[in-house]
Amino acid sequence: MEDFEKIILALPKGRILDKAVDLMLKSEVMPEKDFKNPDSRKLRFSTNDKDLDLIRIRSADVPTFVAFGAADIGIAGQDDILEQDYPELYVPLDLKIGICKLVIARSADLSTRNDNLSLSYEKVATKYPNITKSYFEKIGVQADCIKLNGAIELAPSLGLCETIVDIVETGETLKANGLVEKEKITDISTHLIVNRASLKTKPEKINKLINRFAETVHGKAA
């Protein structure tokens, strides 16, 4: 029988996974052996805490699983949290990993010719159409977004658009594709997110887990 008192923690696959797992281990959440087995096709794992299971899903899906209560708590980038903007999510803790920024970038050639984002209309390739539209609206520009799921930096050189909105960490991908940053939209880091209803129905277990992560991030309270 399914134990509805169990809580489920959603971990993001991809570049943040190792850092998220490291924080989780330091917070004394130890997954079952299969979690580390590259041949395993399992997506849900038990832990050393019988009341806590893990799921490993695509990073952009973490806010969705948590907002709909399929997971109670999750580790998600602020980019995905802001883009999806679910009111069901409570965001209690900055985990201070996955630090990067969301920027507007254009081709380096174009930037020297026509330096400002001064047009009233921009075609923009991005994974983040909601954030992009509302940011451009604020600066008085109508943005027509082309939604891509990756390799955004290719779009200008292939004539899909002149402008992109994407994540920058080291800046290497922009540089390697002849693009320059024009404007920062926001700084980004990875946060703990919680389903508000779960927090009401299982406050002890969820608060215990939030506190364990908080102690790991900020150091044990004196």
Contact set with ligand PRP (CB under 6 A): 15, 150-153, 166-173
Residue closer to ligand PRP, measured from CB, 139 or 151? 151
Residue closer to ligand PRP, measured from CB, 18 or 169? 169
Angle subtended at Cα 120 by Cα 119 and Cα 122, rounded to the nearest 5 degrees: 75
Residues 86 and 196 sit within 8 Å (Cβ to Cβ): no
Angle subtended at Cα 204 by Cα 203 and Cα 210, rounded to the nearest 5 degrees: 85
Residue nearest to ligand PRP (CB): 150
**φ, ψ for residue 195 (rounded to 5)?**
-75, 125
Distance CA 109, CA 129 (A): 25
* CB of residue 197 to ligand PRP, shortest distance in Å: 31
Residue closer to ligand PRP, measured from CB, 118 or 170? 170
* CB of residue 47 to ligand PRP, shortest distance in Å: 27
* CB of residue 78 to ligand PRP, shortest distance in Å: 14
Which residues are CB-contacts of 167 (< 8 A; sequence separation ≥ 6)? 79, 100, 101, 102, 103, 188
* CB of residue 152 to ligand PRP, shortest distance in Å: 6
Residue closer to ligand PRP, measured from CB, 99 or 110? 99
DSSP 93-122: EE---S-EEEEEEEEHHHHHHS-S---SEE
Residue closer to ligand PRP, measured from CB, 76 or 152? 152
* CB of residue 97 to ligand PRP, shortest distance in Å: 14
